[in-house]
Structure 1
Amino acid sequence: MRWLVAVAAVSLGGAAWWWSAQPRTPAELFRTRCATCHELPDVCVFAPADRPSIVDTMRSANGADAVIDPEEAARIKAYLREGLKCP
């Protein structure tokens, strides 16, 4: 029975660590998902309306669909279009 409690404790601890490591905000999502494959570009050089197409291109032509699911892509695109503050 003790081993069962130990296994449950380790499993719960691992799940808690995994959950705490997940990106919480659209900005964190952009940074963590996009930086998985490349250095983050300065997207401020693009007009806000043009930024979402970068995500679409990365997902359709560059394999980012393996890293960014459709729901995450929608959140990142909204952030790049409306939430990103550029100098």
Structure 2
Amino acid sequence: MKSRTTYTIMIVFLLFIQQVISGCSTTVTKNSQKDNLHKIETGLVSQNLYQSKCALCHELPDINEYSSDEWTSIIDNRHNTKAARKFITIEEAEKIKGYLKSM
């Protein structure tokens, strides 16, 4: 009788631990998936901005033609004028810089 009670307690304890562990892993997986989806969505929005806004004034250059630092400098220097602000906002320029840095 005593060993049966011990086995019952052990089984209940193991089932409890299993539920705790599986609950934690599901939460981590869901958060990770949300982060990945957000990154993909942000990348697509930024890519669309790059393709639509930059093509308004000039041909799109090859992204690999410049380094991340060069892209930042190009956008900061060429798009920091009143004339450029008619076509692209500061926020859009920042998103485009982020996109180009990630490529």
TM-score (norm 2): 0.51
Structure with the higher helix share, 1 or 2? 2
Q: Which has the larger radius of gyration?
A: 2
1:63 is paired with a residue of what secondary structure?
helix
Q: Find out whether 1:38 has 2:58 as its counterpart.
A: yes
Aligned sequence identity (%): 35
TM-score (norm 1): 0.59
Q: Out of 60-69 and 41-50, give the one that drifted further.
A: 60-69
In structure 1, stretches of 5+ residues that fail to align are 1-23
Q: Which residue of 2 aligns with 1:57?
A: 77
Give the 3 Å change call, closer, same or farther, for CA 49–74 of structure 1 in structure 2.
Answer: same
Alpha-carbon distance between aligned partners in 2 of 1:62 and 1:54, rounded to the nearest angstrom: 16
Residue 80, structure 1, aligned to residue 100, structure 2 = yes
Instruction: Give structure 1 regions of 4+ aligned residues with deviation exceeding 4 angstroms.
Output: none
Query: Which segments of 5 or more consecutive residues in structure 2 lack a partner in the other structure?
Result: 1-43
